[in-house]
Structure 1
Amino acid sequence: MTRPVQERRITWTKDNVHPLGGYRDELRVDVGSMVRAMRRQFRLVMIFAAIGLVIAVLMILGSVPRYTAAETVLLDEQRADLLNEVSPLPNAVRSDTAVQSEIEIIRSRALAYQVVDLLNLDEDADFLSPPVGATQQVIGAVSSLTDPLARLLTPAPPVSETPADGDNAENAVPMLGSDLEVTDRDRAAQILRDRLNVSRLGRSLVIEIKFSDFEPRRAALIARGYGSAYESFQLGTTNEIAAKAEDWLRERLDVLEQKSTEAASAVYEFRAANNLVQVRGNLLTEQQQSELASKLMTAAADAAEAEARLESVESLLARSKDGEEIIVVPVVGGQIGADTDALRRDYLDARLRYRRLVDQFGAEHPQAQQLSGSMALLKEAIEVELEQATEASRVAYNISRSREESLRTDLQAITGTSDENLALRGRLQQLEAISETYAQVYRDYLARLEVTMQQQGFPIAAIKIISPAEVPKSASSPRKKAMLLAGLLLGGMLGVLIGTARELLPKPVRRMSTLRQEVGINCAGLLPGEKSRDDAAWKPTRLRTIERLAQACEANRQKPGGLLVAVAPLSPGLEDHHALPTALAAHLSQNGARRVLLIHEEKLPPEAIPGPNAKGPETVLLQKVLESWSEQAGTETSDVDLNMMAKFLRDEFSFVLVALRPLSLADRSDPHSWSYDSTILRVPWGQVLPGFVTDALMDHPRFHSCLATTVLEDAELATARRYISAGSYEELEINA
């Protein structure tokens, strides 16, 4: 009972307790605690949600309706390609960056000025002075209070020193825009930009232009004005760029024309000065060198072919002289001689007939011997033909070699002559390259100038208005449903935050288990207050709590003597200070054999004083008891022997209940420690923290040492149920 108060864990989880293994470090979510917390703070959340809803309704009623007109513009790729054909510069690809650039152009101040001039908005008083709703008035009033403070906190800009002498004053450069004034045209342009909304529809090339105004027809006119101004801006920009490009191109063409003429003249003068004749686009020496090189390549190929033919014929002749049978003579000069062909046929025919005779009659046959002689003669004739072919191939090879050597000698002679003019030819090529470069650049700029001149008269913009703005039929703001939902959600979220903060803060004592677990003292139960009188559980809960208090008193009584019980509230503020002692005394006196005395430290109200014939406990003031005992003892009231008086009261009465003042108002730690056989502490429900109870008991050790039990008084049963776990013993006791 005297253990210190444990620090209350601010969490919605509970330890996973194992009945055999003890406490574990693992935590799990206590869903029941979370549900009870939400149930406790539900009313607060609903109140804040209702407040947010009311604020949203007031903002809707205090706002001036606005109407939004929309116009859609297509960035036409086909027109852009057509414009690109006559444009001096290539058209940009319609990437995300390009589309975003077009959106920023529409939002620009330059386009806003065009719309103002187109619709004369700077002369429209209604446009320049729009109506102001109650919400805007409140915001303006707040701004009027905060703006002076903001200007006061803003540091002053640095002041530049003005030159004092006359020389510096004369040489001072005037600052641009130093005399700028805000005109109606500027104000109208700023209003346009503030109410304009430009966006891209998805990933398409369609741009939507929206404008909000308090007058629907004017909103549609301004949206259409933006579409027309955007189209005019593109046409004007294209023509302006083309005009500037034309002027620049003409200046460059004059310079390039002069430089191209000078470069061509330098080429002709250099050729005439160095006698460099050009034939078919080349110099004469270069032409000759090219022809000789071509002939040399042909002659080299012919010589190689003749050499190969000679080697082949010589190989056949050598094989023939070694006895090998050779009947084919290579072609010489591209034709086969008639005599050679006849000899080959006769030899083949004779060899065929010879083999047949030998196979039938043998080699000794006369005809076979005759054919053998004929074949020998034919073979000698073929060998002679082969020698002649060899000699002819050698002659052809020598001719090809001689021609190749002659061409090679001529080429070397020409090459040696051109090396002497190598520097001249290099200089000539350099001059020709410079002349050709200037000529090509001149032609390109001339073509660009022609295209630019065409573009100036080409009235096509790369955009197309596909959906002109129409007069809106309904207001676009305030968005009633969205504002109501936002007010409801924001209010509810604020209520949730406040409720969460309330749940995380230390809570006052509202449960019997709180006193047992966090303070370490017993609790007899709840004593419902007058606010719960309509609750069906009010009467049984009250009777059960008083019964438990009576049982605690009887358990501490030591027969045959009586029991002095001190009943003290923890703090003032109870609904009925005298109700509990009176009810407890009445319950203890229900047994006729008992005498119960109820002593009040404070003066009783008239309704709490029982009548002379009333049955039940005897009621008396503490001061009267002291005075009566002092008269019997013949002493002063301050000198009364309290121990003797307490012994007398125990002997005379079964129970003596002393209703003390609140412990927090006592002048001393234990002002009536003589009377404590047992004590009952009355804790106001939902008004004090557990630490307050602990501190009070530590300040009254005698009262604490005799503490039998406590009671939570003036409880609200409806609220208490939200703090008690479902299905717990406390809930069953309340709802029994």
Structure 2
Amino acid sequence: MTKPVQERRITWTKDNAHLLAGYRDEPRVDMGSILRAMRRQAPLAIICALTGIVIAVLMILGSLPRYTAVETVLLDEERAELLNEVSPLPNAVWSDTAVQSEIEIIKSRALAYQVVDLLNLDEDADFLSPPVGATQRVLGLVSLVTDPLARLLTPAPPAPSASGSDESESGGGTAVELDFNLDVTDRDRAVQILRDRLSVSRSGRSLVIEIGFTDFEPRRAAMIARGYGWSYEGFQLVTTNEIAAKAEGWLRERLDRLEQKSMEAAAAVQEFRATNDLVEVRGNLLTEQQQSELASALMNASANAAEAEAQLESMESLLARSREGEEVITVPFVEGQFGAGNEALRRDYLDGRLRYRRLVTQFGPDHPQAQQLKSSLDLLREAIEVELEQATEAARVSYLMSRSREESLRADLEAITGSSDTAVALRGRLQQLEAISETYAQVYRDYLARLEVATQQQNFPIAAIKIISPAEVPKSASSPQKKAMLFAGMLLGGMLGVLIGAARELLPKPIRTVSTLRQELGLSCVGLLPGRKSLDDRGAAAARSRTLERLAQACEVNLKSPGGLLVGIAPLSSGLEDPTALPVALAAHLSRNGARRVMVIHEDPAHAPASSESKDGIETVSLPAVLDSWSETKSVVGGQGFDFGLLAKHLRDEFSFVIVALRPISEASRSDPHAWAYDTTLLRIPWGQVLPGFLTDALLDHPRFRDSLATTVLEDAQLATARRYMNRGSYEELEINA
């Protein structure tokens, strides 16, 4: 059954637990290590920050004050619209691109030349040769070294080929050589200085442009800033006039050509009409006029014929109904009106029929008056029928006449429209010539109108900008910016210190704590021996006494009875403050106030006294003296050869502890040269001078010394620095601060 996954902590450094607690390889975030690293490197960061502040102060003191004057210009939309009304080419709307274009115009060399000429800056020696501060001088000295290197690394421009020069010479008079004056004059240098010190920016998203100029003289800075405003306004006026003048010249040239073309086109039309006898009446040609009139008459005749045909059909229908016995009392004429006789018959007929109906209603149809009225009505009906027959014949005659007129007009129209193809081609060519002539005339009128507008614009003294805040003489210097430079120096220096400190923490660190030896290398360590720099530390004496006591205990643990113990004590490397102090101090602890005999043997005669010394049970001698004395003794006894084992046994029998102060093991010419001289070994490690890898390699090179190693000691320690590498509240820290 699997266990639940436990949360792992991420470590900033390698996590090795104490040997007694076992090895632990799970990662974790060691905030204590991070805080200790910050505490250790804080002085470095502070020193770098203070160095940055000092450099900033030096730069401020070595820099000359500069003053910036600002001229504020508004891109006026209302004036731009007014210019659009009189401009032959409409101006662009003030978009972001247009505003950026105006900024580039202000930065241009053309405008800078105008400012130079306006203020005569090329004749101002102070402007052309500004004062130089100490900071600039230092930078100039640096450039004296870097510029030659840059020129050395810059490839030379390609030389012109001989063939090219020969070709130019062979060209003779056909080749045109342009003489460009590329020499740098005072005017050019003044322009370059102007552009280097000029700053142009847009105020937010508005149409306001701020023109700033920086100079060592406040009044000159304000004067040049105002000069830029005036020059920019004049530049727009001149540019507008130049555009209008160029447009006018071009338009006049085009108008001359268009006038000639228009006159030639009109003359061609008139000549073609006269040649082909094409007479125009009321805006149309004669044939076209006749065709139009015949078509109109034909349409009227067709309408009249249709009307006559309808009347005829109506008359014939009425006549047929009358003959079939149907009562018909209306007889219309061709003109659509009733005649006087027809109207009288109709009225008499209607009156008689009304009386007849009354008599029949009162007296019946057989009444004599009713019979008489009926006879009168029959006669009237016959008269109306005769009138109807006459009207029908008249309608037929009118219809035939209308039909005949329609056919005659149609024949005439067909005769006119059915003319030859030559006439059609002539009319088409005439229309083409007229179209060309009208086009030239229209283009000429348009260009003439544009010429009038361009002429008006040349004398229109309005620019599309407005100066809303003239530059004033600055009262305070704009640079050097003291607060910003101090803050930047402190920030950059502090960041550099943090980077250096981080690099120091990430790189392998020398051995400075007991825990490093115990946890990372697995070596026993009795503690720290304070160096000279830690003598004033309140825990130095206690730490030294405690470490020496532990070192003595480590030796006494290995003491076997009977016989003494040979202790080899050697530094890891050279560089200890006092190589003889520790053996002598350890001997004093091991003697226990003279209760034990202790000998201190120095391998290096320079560290031993000239002759053997004995004090409080402690005898100090050099190793060569011991060897010489032992050789003489053996020779007296009868000598069986030089035996180091017998010498060691003799020393054990004579002394309780024999401390052999060896040279640094890293400087030994061969591995373990004095292995006979120790039963147990002590290693002196210079505090903060060697890396863990160096110690490991040195012990691997001296296996006998390593196998007999009882413990180690960190010598010449700086307790104030060592505390920064210890865990706060750890046993090691409490021991030092006790």
Please state which band the TM-score falls in when normalised by the shorter chain.
0.7 to 0.9
| Inter-partner Cα distance in structure 2 for 1:173 and 1:412 | 73
2:549–2:589 CA contact under 8 A, matched in 1: yes
Residues 507, 309 of structure 1: alpha-carbon distance in 2 compared, 3 angstrom cutoff: farther
Q: CA deviation at 1:584?
A: 2.2
Q: Which amino acid aligns with 2:555?
A: C
Deviations 1:661-712 (A, max 9, x none): 2112323322211122111111101111122212221222211111111111
Cα RMSD over matched residues? 4.6
Q: Which residue pairs with 1:705 in the alignment?
A: 707
Contact 2:602 2:608 (8 Å CA) reproduced: no
Q: Distance in 1 between matches of 2:704 and 2:130?
A: 78
Q: CA deviation at 1:185?
A: 2.2
Change (3 A) 1:271 1:710: same
Shift, 1:290, TM fit: 6.7
Cα distance, 1:439 vs structure 2 = 0.8
Q: Who is 2:521 aligned against?
A: 519
> Could you tell me how far 1:227 is from its partner in structure 2?
1.1
Map 1:683-702 onto structure 2 (within 5 A).
683-702=685-704
Equivalence map 1:90-489=2 (5 Å) = 90-157=90-157, 158-159=159-160, 161=162, 168=170, 171=173, 175-177=177-179, 180-278=182-280, 281-283=283-285, 416-417=418-419, 421-489=423-491
Counterpart Cα distance in 2 of 1:334 and 1:551: 158
2:603 to 597, 601, 604: 601
After superposing the two structures, state which structure 1 stretch, 35-44 or 149-158, moved more.
Answer: 149-158
CA contact (8 A) 1:12 1:30 kept: yes
Question: Which residue pairs with 1:542 in the alignment?
Answer: 544
Partner of 1:495: 497
2:198–2:213 Cα contact (<8 Å) kept: yes
Q: Counterpart of 1:432 in 2: which secondary structure?
A: helix
Structure 1's 410 and 43: CA in aligned 2 closer, same or farther, altered over 3 A? farther
Whether the aligned pair in 2 keeps the contact of 1:673 and 1:702 (CA below 8 Å) is: yes
Report the secondary structure of 2:246's partner residue: helix
Task: Give matches, 1:73-88, under 5 Å.
Answer: 73-88=73-88
- Aligned partners of 2:144, 2:718: CA distance in 1, in Å? 48
Evaluate the alpha carbon distance shift between residue 624 and residue 270 of structure 1 in structure 2; reply closer, same or farther with a 3 A threshold: same
Give the C-alpha shift of residue 643 in structure 1. Answer: 0.9
CA 1:147–1:624: 2 relative to 1, 3 Å: closer
> What SS does structure 2 have at the residue aligned with 1:681?
strand
Say whether 1:615 aligns with 2:619: no
**1:115-168 residue CA offsets vs partner (Å, 9 max, x unmatched):** 222222222222222111111122222323443444444444415659689975
Unmatched segments (≥5 aa) in structure 2: 1-10, 314-334, 338-342, 354-387
SS at match of 1:61: helix
Match of 1:36 in 2: 36
Aligned counterpart, 2:8:
none
**Residues in 2 aligned to 1:297 and 1:16: alpha-carbon distance in whole angstroms:** 119
Q: 1:165 to 1:451 in 2, by over 3 A?
A: closer
Q: Which moved more, 1:494-503 or 1:169-178?
A: 169-178
2:54 maps to 1:54: yes
Tell me how far 1:571 sits from its aligned partner. Answer: 1.1
Say whether the 8 Å CA contact 2:62–2:133 is kept in structure 1: yes
SS at match of 2:604: coil
* Contact kept in structure 2, 1:527 and 1:712, CA below 8 Å: yes
How far apart are residue 260 of structure 1 and its match? 0.8
Is the partner of 1:630 in helix, strand or coil?
A: helix
SS in structure 2 of the partner of residue 521 of structure 1: coil
CA distance in structure 1 between the partners assigned to 2:251 and 2:508 by the alignment: 84
Q: Does 1:572 align with 2:574?
A: yes
Change (3 A) 1:174 1:525: farther
Between Structure 1 and Structure 2, how many residues are aligned?
A: 663
Whole-angstrom CA distance in 1 between matches of 2:276 and 2:75: 62
CA distance in 1, matches of 2:192, 2:672: 79
Cα deviation code 1:374-424 (max 9, x no counterpart): xxxxxxxxxxxxxx9xx9xx99xx999999999988876665459774433
Larger mean CA deviation between 42-51 and 724-733 belongs to 724-733
Q: Indicate the residue corresponding to 2:634 in structure 1.
A: 633
In structure 1, how many angstroms separate the alpha carbons of the residues matched to 2:192 and 2:597?
Answer: 93
Asked if the contact 1:60–1:478 (Cα under 8 Å) also holds between the matched residues in 2, the reply is yes
**Structure 2 residue 69 is the aligned partner of structure 1 residue 69:** yes
Alpha-carbon displacement from aligned partner over 1:643-668 (angstroms, at most 9, x marks no partner): 12212332343332222121123233
Give the letter aligned to residue 615 of structure 1: D
Given the superposition, is the C-alpha separation of residues 702 and 16 from structure 1 closer, same or farther in structure 2, using an over 3 Å criterion? Answer: closer
Please report how far the alpha carbon of residue 500 of structure 1 lies from its aligned counterpart in structure 2 after TM superposition.
2.5
Relative to structure 1, is the Cα distance of residues 301 and 559 closer, same or farther in structure 2, using a 3 angstrom cutoff?
Answer: farther
Find the aligned partners of 1:634 and 1:565 in 2 and give their Cα distance.
27
Q: How far 1:713 sits from its partner (Å)? A: 1.0
Instruction: Among all aligned residue pairs of Structure 1 and Structure 2, give the percentage whose two residues are the same amino acid.
Output: 73
Task: Report Cα offsets for 1:27-57 as digits up to 9, x if no partner.
Answer: 5544333322222222222222222211111
Contact 1:528 1:713 in 2 (8 A): yes
Partner of 1:660: 662
**Partner letter of residue 685 of structure 2?**
V
Taking a change above 3 Å as real, the CA distance of residues 280 and 512 of structure 1, as seen in their structure-2 partners, is farther
CA distance in structure 2 between the aligned counterparts of 1:608 and 1:407, rounded to whole angstroms: 163
Given that 1:68 and 1:210 are in contact with CA atoms closer than 8 Å, whether structure 2 keeps it comes out as yes
Task: Look up the equivalent residue of 1:76 and give its one-letter code.
Answer: D
**How many Å separate the matches in 1 of 2:609 and 2:289?**
145
**Residue 645 of structure 1 pairs with residue 644 of structure 2:** no
Q: Distance in 2 between matches of 1:590 and 1:111?
A: 97
Q: Contact 2:92–2:98 at 8 Å: present in 1 too?
A: yes
Secondary structure at 1:225's aligned position in 2?
helix
CA contact (8 A) 2:16 2:520 kept: no
* Residues 175 and 151 of structure 1, relative CA distance in 2, 3 Å threshold: farther
CA distance in 2 between counterparts of 1:78 and 1:450 reads 23
Give, in angstroms, the shift of residue 257 of structure 1.
0.7
Q: Is the 8 A contact 1:598 1:657 kept in 2?
A: yes
**CA separation of 1:144 and 1:578: change in aligned 2, threshold 3 A:** closer
Q: Distance in 2 between matches of 1:498 and 1:617?
A: 49
Distance between the aligned counterparts of 2:232 and 2:654, measured in 1?
Answer: 108
Residue 574 of structure 2 aligns with an amino acid whose one-letter code is P
Task: State whether residues 253 and 445 of structure 1, in contact with CA within 8 Å, keep that contact through their aligned partners in structure 2.
Answer: yes
Partners of 1:14 and 1:28 within 8 A in 2:
no
Between the aligned partners of 2:235 and 2:656, the Cα distance in structure 1 is: 107
Q: In the TM superposition, what is the alpha-carbon distance from 1:628 to its structure 2 partner? A: 3.8
CA distance in 1, matches of 2:704, 2:250: 108
Amino acid at match of 1:580: L
Does structure 2 conserve the Cα–Cα contact (< 8 Å) formed by 1:626 and 1:640?
Answer: no
CA distance in 2, matches of 1:657, 1:469: 88
Pair 1:509–1:401, CA change in 2 (3 A): farther
Q: Residues 165, 531 of structure 1: CA spacing in aligned structure 2 closer, same or farther, 3 A cutoff?
A: closer
The amino acid across from 2:604 in the alignment is E
SS of equivalent to 2:184? coil
Instruction: Find the aligned partners of 1:667 and 1:20 in 2 and give their Cα distance.
Output: 38
CA distance in structure 2 between the aligned counterparts of 1:96 and 1:74, rounded to whole angstroms:
14
